Chain A
Amino acid sequence: MAHWGRGAALAVPLLLGAAVGALMPSEAAAQVTATMDGANTAWILTATALVLFMTLPGLALFYGGLVRAKNILSVLMHCFSIACLASVLWLVVVYSLAFSDGGPANQWIGGLGKAFLAGVGPDALIGDIPESVFFMFQMTFAVITPALVVGAYPERIKFLPVLMFSGLWLIFVYAPVAHWIWGGGWLAGLGVMDFAGGLVVHATAGISAIVLAKMLGSRRGFPNELRPPHSPALTMIGAAMLWVGWYGFNAGSALAANGSAGMAMVVTHISAATASLTWMTIEWIKFGKPSLVGIVTGMVAGLATITPASGFVGPAGALVYGVLAGMVCYWAVGAIKHKLKIDDSLDVFAVHGVGGVLGILLVSFFALPALGGLGLAAGMTAGKQFGVQLLGTVAVVVWSAVFSVVIIKVVMAIAGLRASEEAETEGLDLSEHGEREYNF
Chain B
Amino acid sequence: MKMVMAIIKPFKLDEVREALGAIGVEGLTVSEVKGYGRQKGQTEIYRGAEYAVSFVPKVKLEIAVDDGLTERVVETIRETANSDKIGDGKIFVMDLGAAVRIRTGETGASAL
B-binding residues in A (CB < 8 A) = 223-229, 232, 283, 286-287, 289, 291, 293-294, 297, 330, 333-334, 337-338, 347
> Is B46 a contact partner of A229 (Cβ separation < 8 A)?
yes
> CA separation between A107 and B44, bound complex, in Å?
50
Which one of A224, A228, A286, A338 contacts B44 once the chains associate, using CB atoms below 8 Å? A228
> CA separation between A228 and B46, bound complex, in Å?
7
Does residue B105 face the partner (Cβ distance < 8 Å to A)?
no
Does residue B92 face the partner (Cβ distance < 8 Å to A)?
no
User: Which B residues between 32 and 46 are near A, CB-CB below 8 angstroms?
Assistant: 44-46
A289 CB to closest chain B CB (Å) equals: 8
> CA separation between A123 and B46, bound complex, in Å?
51
> CA separation between A294 and B46, bound complex, in Å?
7
> CA separation between A297 and B45, bound complex, in Å?
13
> CA separation between A209 and B52, bound complex, in Å?
26
Residues of B contacting A226 in the complex (Cβ-Cβ under 8 angstroms): 51
> CA separation between A347 and B48, bound complex, in Å?
12
Instruction: For the A-B complex with A227-B53, A289-B45, A338-B49 known, give 18 more contacts whose Cβ atoms are closer than 8 Å.
Output: A224-B52, A226-B51, A227-B51, A228-B46, A283-B48, A291-B45, A291-B46, A293-B46, A294-B47, A294-B48, A297-B47, A330-B48, A333-B48, A333-B49, A334-B48, A334-B49, A337-B48, A347-B47
Residues of B contacting A232 in the complex (Cβ-Cβ under 8 angstroms): 46
B18 CB to closest chain A CB (Å) equals: 29
Residue of B nearest to A229 (CB): B46
Residue of A nearest to B46 (CB): A293
A-binding residues in B (CB < 8 A) = 44-49, 51-53
A283 CB to closest chain B CB (Å) equals: 7
Residue of B nearest to A333 (CB): B47
> Is A223 a contact partner of B49 (Cβ separation < 8 A)?
yes
**For the complex, would chain B's binding face be called helix, strand, loop or mixed by DSSP majority?**
strand
Which one of B44, B46, B48, B52 contacts A225 once the chains associate, using CB atoms below 8 Å? B52
> CA separation between A96 and B48, bound complex, in Å?
43
Q: Enumerate 9 A-B pairs (CB-CB under 8 Å) in ascending A order.
A: A228-B44, A228-B51, A228-B53, A229-B46, A283-B48, A291-B45, A333-B47, A333-B48, A333-B49
A365 CB to closest chain B CB (Å) equals: 28
> CA separation between A229 and B48, bound complex, in Å?
13
> Is B49 a contact partner of A293 (Cβ separation < 8 A)?
no
Residues of B contacting A333 in the complex (Cβ-Cβ under 8 angstroms): 47-49
Residues of A contacting B44 in the complex (Cβ-Cβ under 8 angstroms): 228
Residue of A nearest to B43 (CB): A228
Which residue of B48, B49, B52 has the most chain A CB atoms within 10 A of its CB atom?
A: B48
> CA separation between A289 and B50, bound complex, in Å?
13
B78 CB to closest chain A CB (Å) equals: 31
Residues of A contacting B47 in the complex (Cβ-Cβ under 8 angstroms): 293-294, 297, 333, 347
> CA separation between A130 and B44, bound complex, in Å?
51
> CA separation between A227 and B46, bound complex, in Å?
11
Residue of B nearest to A298 (CB): B47
> CA separation between A242 and B61, bound complex, in Å?
44
Residues of A contacting B49 in the complex (Cβ-Cβ under 8 angstroms): 223, 333-334, 337-338
Residue of B nearest to A329 (CB): B47
> CA separation between A226 and B52, bound complex, in Å?
7
Residues of B contacting A297 in the complex (Cβ-Cβ under 8 angstroms): 47
Residues of B contacting A334 in the complex (Cβ-Cβ under 8 angstroms): 48-49
Q: 4 tightest A-B contacts by CB?
A: A228-B51, A293-B46, A228-B44, A334-B48
Residues of A contacting B46 in the complex (Cβ-Cβ under 8 angstroms): 228-229, 232, 291, 293-294
> CA separation between A347 and B46, bound complex, in Å?
12
Which residue of B47, B51, B52, B53 has the most chain A CB atoms within 10 A of its CB atom?
A: B47
Residue of B nearest to A282 (CB): B48
> CA separation between A34 and B74, bound complex, in Å?
86
> CA separation between A293 and B49, bound complex, in Å?
11
